[in-house]
């Protein structure tokens, strides 16, 4: 069977492998993927460091052409790559194809940005002196990505890194090496010089730790758990390294009495349960005011009854499996915690059996929850949602902001007054009005506040804040 190897200094290397199994069917072997060692990671960093001087001074047309070529191939292969994503991560096929399309759009956007690199020429306070403000590449970038968006998140880190002239060492999540390998293969064949992009698949405790320990990384961008994010921060501070963190969320969606019930229910169902709830922007706290509470819970429960949980590749499936056995146990442990805390299990919570062996869990809805319960405070990262009562908008806003996280927040209302107030006062990096809290555009900034994020925003033109350094040059003619 083909072994999908690591890419280091332009060469495919590695013979020690790990089995990539589908969570929809544990008998389905997606592929054998190489496992890098700490020495492999060090070699990749050395290769990126050696490639940096030439690539950082490469022409903008060269960068544009490579990124555009990658975008075109990703889009042309969206069904094939979507099927790979659905098989290895468990996201239903239409969502997987949508994610691949988004990755293509991201590369296309940054292909354009390569042609729009700008600076400033400003007058000096001193007569006769010219001042230029420019942006230059940061250096060697370490990229560590999670398993829940196995092609989109790598795309929105790798594309700007390359666009702005950096070199990359990319470590994907253990559970989803397939999409990572595919995107690196596409970029490699698109014409990247050797060493500009390096792929090191393997254990976080081995490969990830080697990246954290390296003094040769100029920047490290990480998306994943809060605990690991803290380790990334501490290691980066020790090496005086620029770092960027996207971590957890416990995102609220407020539903007011004046909300359009069908809009509110659909937004809540999408936010909390689609992609099996495995999104950092998922809304796992539904804060509902008294006047609509009972009608909303009844309507949402009926909506959940219509959702089919099954193999991600099967037509008609709305929710695929949980990503692996460990994540399934975490979800069911939290369901037990919610019951013991006194929340009412209104729907779901059962582990399901399907035609293929996998990690299937019913969408789970708790009602009569409080914001002090663990199921309302801690990120579960599964299809488990709590409904919290609020007497009015003011209390709902207060509950919404009472969380250590601050990634995304939503409100369902027909009141312009309340929508406007919520957009200003919600303590989150992204706010949605009458929309799911999950689902963002590729060309605008992504990120949160408090314990959810640290450092410059990702995506869009704001990506330059992390992947470049500002230089101010003075000239006396």
pLDDT digits (tens, 9 = 90+) for 411-463: 999 999 999 999 999 999 999 999 999 999 999 999 999 999 999 999 999 99
Give catalytic residues, as residue numbers: 246, 280
Model pLDDT, residue 82: 98
Kind of pairing between the strands at 242-246 and 219-223:
parallel
**181, two tokens:** 């390998």
Over residues 42-83, the pLDDT tens digits come to 999 999 999 999 999 999 999 999 999 999 999 999 999 999
Pairing of strands 130-137, 120-123: antiparallel
Q: Extract the residue ranges of the chain whose pLDDT is less than 70.
A: none
The two three-digit tokens of residue 312, written as one number: 């991600």
Q: 237 vs 77, 218, 464, CA distance in Å?
A: 40, 11, 21
Q: What angle do CA 308, 312, 316 make, to 5 degrees?
A: 45
Place of tokens 């605008």: 444
Rounded Cα distance between 123 and 416, Å, is 44
Average pLDDT over the chain, rounded to whole?
98
State the pLDDT at residue 153.
98
Residues contacting 398, CB < 8 A, separation 6+: none
What whole-number distance in Å separates Cα of residue 343 and Cα of residue 337? 9
Instruction: Please compute Rg for the chain using Cα positions.
Output: 23
User: What pLDDT, on a 0 to 100 scale, did the predictor assign at position 1?
Assistant: 82
Distances (CA, A) of 469 to 139, 214, 366: 9, 20, 47
Q: Is 475 helix (H, G, I), strand (E, B) or coil?
A: strand
Q: According to the model, what pLDDT value does residue 441 have?
A: 95
pLDDT number for residue 54? 98
- In the sheet with 120-123, reading across from the earlier edge strand, the strands are 120-123, 130-137, 468-475
Please tell me the predicted confidence (pLDDT) of residue 35: 97
| pTM, 2 dp | 0.97
Q: Is residue 352 a contact partner of residue 368, using CB atoms and an 8 Å limit?
A: no
Token pair, residue 242, equals 């620029």
DSSP H or E stretch at residue 99: helix 93-113
Strand pairing category for 251-255 and 408-412: parallel
Instruction: For 237, list phi and psi in degrees, rounded to 5.
Output: -60, -40
Q: Helix (H, G, I), strand (E, B), or coil: what is residue 201?
A: coil
């Amino acid at each position: 069977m083909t072994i999908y190897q690591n890419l280091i200094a332009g060469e495919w290397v590695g013979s020690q492998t790990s089995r990539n199994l589908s969570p929809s069917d544990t008998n389905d072997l997606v592929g054998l993927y190489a496992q890098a060692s700490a020495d492999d990671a060090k070699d990749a960093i050395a290769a990126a460091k050696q490639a940096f001087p030439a690539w950082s001074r490469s022409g903008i047309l060269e960068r544009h052409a490579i990124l555009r070529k990658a975008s075109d191939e990703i889009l042309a292969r969206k069904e094939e790559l979507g099927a790979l994503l659905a098989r290895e991560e468990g996201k239903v096929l239409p969502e997987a194809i949508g994610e691949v399309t988004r990755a293509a759009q991201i590369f296309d956007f940054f292909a354009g940005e390569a042609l729009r690199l700008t600076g400033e020429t400003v007058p000096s306070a001193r007569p006769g002196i010219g001042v230029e403000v420019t942006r230059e590449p940061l250096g060697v970038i370490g990229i560590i990505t999670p398993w829940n968006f196995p092609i989109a998140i790598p795309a929105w880190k790798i594309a700007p890194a390359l666009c702005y002239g950096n070199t990359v060492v990319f470590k994907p999540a253990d559970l989803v090496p397939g999409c990572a390998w595919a995107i690196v293969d596409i970029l490699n064949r698109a014409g990247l010089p050797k060493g500009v992009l390096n792929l090191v698949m393997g254990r976080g405790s081995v490969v990830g730790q080697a990246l954290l320990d390296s003094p040769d990384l100029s920047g490290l961008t990480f998306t994943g758990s809060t605990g690991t994010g803290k380790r990334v921060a501490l290691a980066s501070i020790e090496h005086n390294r620029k770092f960027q963190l996207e971590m957890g969320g416990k995102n609220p969606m407020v539903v007011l009495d004046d909300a359009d019930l069908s809009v509110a229910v659909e937004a809540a169902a999408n936010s909390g349960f689609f992609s099996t709830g495995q999104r950092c922007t998922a809304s796992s706290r539904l804060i509902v005011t008294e006047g609509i509470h009972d009608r909303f819970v009844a309507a949402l429960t009926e909506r959940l009854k219509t959702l089919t949980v099954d193999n991600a590749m099967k037509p008609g499936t709305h929710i695929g499996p949980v990503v692996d056995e460990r994540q399934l146990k975490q979800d069911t442990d939290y369901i037990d915690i919610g019951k013991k805390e006194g929340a009412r299990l209104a729907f779901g919570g059962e582990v399901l059996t399907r035609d293929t062996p996998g990690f299937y869990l019913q969408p789970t809805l708790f009602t009569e929850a409080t914001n002090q319960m663990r199921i309302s405070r801690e990120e579960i990262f599964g299809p488990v949602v709590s409904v919290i009562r609020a007497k009015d908008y003011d209390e709902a806003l207060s509950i919404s902001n009472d969380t250590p996280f601050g990634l995304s927040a939503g409100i369902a209302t027909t009141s312009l007054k309340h929508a406007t107030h919520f957009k200003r006062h919600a303590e989150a990096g992204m706010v949605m009005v009458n929309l799911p809290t999950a689902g963002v555009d590729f060309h605008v900034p992504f990120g949160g506040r408090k314990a959810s994020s640290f450092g410059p925003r990702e995506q869009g033109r704001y990506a330059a804040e992390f992947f470049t350094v500002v230089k101010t040059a003075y000239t006396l003619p």
